[in-house]
Amino acid sequence: MSKRKTYTLQNMKEKIRMGMVGGGKNAFIGAVHRIAANLDGLIELCCGALSANAENAKISGRALFLPEDRIYTSYKEMFENESRLPVGKRMQFVSIVTPNHLHFEPAMLALEHGFNVMIDKPITFTLAEAKALQQKVEETGLQLCLTHTYAGYPMVKQAREMVKNGDLGEIRKVCVNYPQGWLSKATSADNKQAAWRTDPSKSGISGCMGDIGTHAAQLAEYISNLEITKICADLNIVVAGRALDDDGNVLLKFNNGANGLLMASQIATGEENALKINVYGEKGSLEWHQMEPNTLMVKWPDQPAQRYRTGSDYLYPIAKHNTRTPSGHPEGYLEAFANIYRNFALTLNAKQNGEIPSPEILDFPTAKDGVRGMAFIENVVASNQSDKKWHNFIV
């Protein structure tokens, strides 16, 4: 690996300080974020507004051993108080881990107070909000990172580099499937994860496509280095009584003329988290499965298929940079999530030291990915409602 100061640890003198909005007691994704942030020892949680409920916010903060005076009962209070602290003590970025309808306001307020932002996907509730955040990021020069987890896997980065390097030739077709089965039956009101994801007032105009379809679309564009330009969508509500789609299929056209197919479903009975992508080029193709993430299959027309493995010496530098253990020691979801946090932290550190971060190595999903994700949601819904076969992908 290169020894450029822009992405090594040798010039990092202290941990990056993080605040958190949401993610309190019994919140699934908040704990995942904290594990990911802690994994490399580069980040410390220094404050939080962990719940909209004041009592729960206090209980959650104490459970995480936060100082009493930095356990906040609202994110507005947190941003105001933290911005008054000395530069060397205040948080440097905030991680926003709330349902979709509570993304935009805290993210915008954080940027206005001078704080960098880490945020769950989809980035906002509407495309207009996403564009406003992107504009604010550009105006302030601050960093915004979007947790499209699957972009953090070493073999996903290997696949992307192989495509960029021309190893597969010109890309002709991209197929990405994301079947889950956890919503294959009607759920009770006690299932908080299901409740807000199937509620238009909290999730937005799409259910399944907004939740996991956006992951599939981002992965397709990320690995292929292409952008979707046209879609033809068919969304379905399979479980009676739901207000939002729980299943869908989308035909794709890309900006180089390639075509593709995206399937996302949360009613695929018996499936766990079976995200899979195939990218077909003129010279060869590749295949990656999220549930077997340490293997990348590469297939050729005139020789046996090759099985690339995480931790191997033959991988591209970016794949090695995002690998922690020797080959044969599985790395998965938490490590991929942590790669996003680590690359974000190292980028903040480089900028703080007046250095230029290396986006080729320290890559992570940005506000641009967030805008395209929201555009995907709105275009898919519009296409589904249209009588026309093809719908232009409008951003």
Three-class secondary structure assignment of 255-275: CCCCEEEEEEECCCCCCCCCC
Q: Report H helices in the chain.
A: 28-38, 54-63, 75-84, 104-112, 127-140, 154-164, 192-197, 200-203, 208, 214-224, 317-321, 333-352, 367-385
Domains of the chain (ranges, CATH numbers): 16-149 (3.40.50.720), 154-323+370-385 (3.30.360.10)
pLDDT of amino acid 10: 52
For the chain, what's the residue count?
A: 395
**Cβ pair 186, 345 in contact under 8 A:** no
Q: Which of 57-61, 192-196, 291-295 has the least mean pLDDT?
A: 192-196
pLDDT of amino acid 43: 98
Cβ-defined contacts of 81-87 (< 8 Å, 24+): 82/19, 82/47, 82/113, 82/115, 83/113, 83/114, 83/115
Task: Give tens-digit pLDDT for 298-309.
Answer: 999 999 999 999
Other CB atoms closer than 10 Å to residue 130's CB: what's the count?
Answer: 29
Longest dimension (CA), the chain: 66
Q: Output DSSP code: residue 213.
A: I
Task: Give tens-digit pLDDT for 129-150.
Answer: 999 999 999 999 999 999 999 9
Backbone φ and ψ for 191, nearest 5 degrees, come out as -80, 90
Mean pLDDT value of segment 12-24 = 94
Query: For residue 2, what pLDDT band results from cuts at 50, 70 and 90?
Result: very low
Q: HSE of 174 in the Cβ direction (CA atoms, 13 Å)? A: 28
| pLDDT score of 4 more than 50 | no
Mean pLDDT value of segment 265-291 = 98
Task: Give tens-digit pLDDT for 145-165.
Answer: 999 999 999 999 999 999 999
Q: In what order do the strands lie in the sheet with 228-236?
A: 306-309, 295-299, 285-289, 276-281, 171-179, 259-265, 247-254, 228-236, 391-392
| pLDDT score of 247 more than 80 | yes
Rounded Cα distance, 27 and 47, in Å: 17
Non-local CB neighbours of 386 within 8 Å, separated by 6+ positions: none
| pLDDT score of 379 more than 80 | yes
The label of the residue with tokens 């599939």 reads 216
Mean of all residue pLDDT scores within the chain: 95
Mean pLDDT value of segment 237-254 = 97
pLDDT of amino acid 1: 35
Tell me what percent of the residues of the chain surpass a pLDDT of 70: 97
| pLDDT score of 3 more than 70 | no
The DSSP line for 288-301 is EETTSTTEEEEE-S
Does the predicted model carry a pTM greater than 0.85?
yes
| pLDDT score of 346 more than 90 | yes
Task: Give tens-digit pLDDT for 184-194.
Answer: 999 877 888 89
Q: 3-state class of 234 per DSSP?
A: strand
The label of the residue with tokens 């250095």 reads 355
Task: Give tens-digit pLDDT for 21-46.
Answer: 999 998 889 999 999 999 999 999 99
Rounded Cα distance, 200 and 213, in Å: 16
| pLDDT score of 6 more than 70 | no
pLDDT of amino acid 266: 98
Rounded Cα distance, 149 and 339, in Å: 9
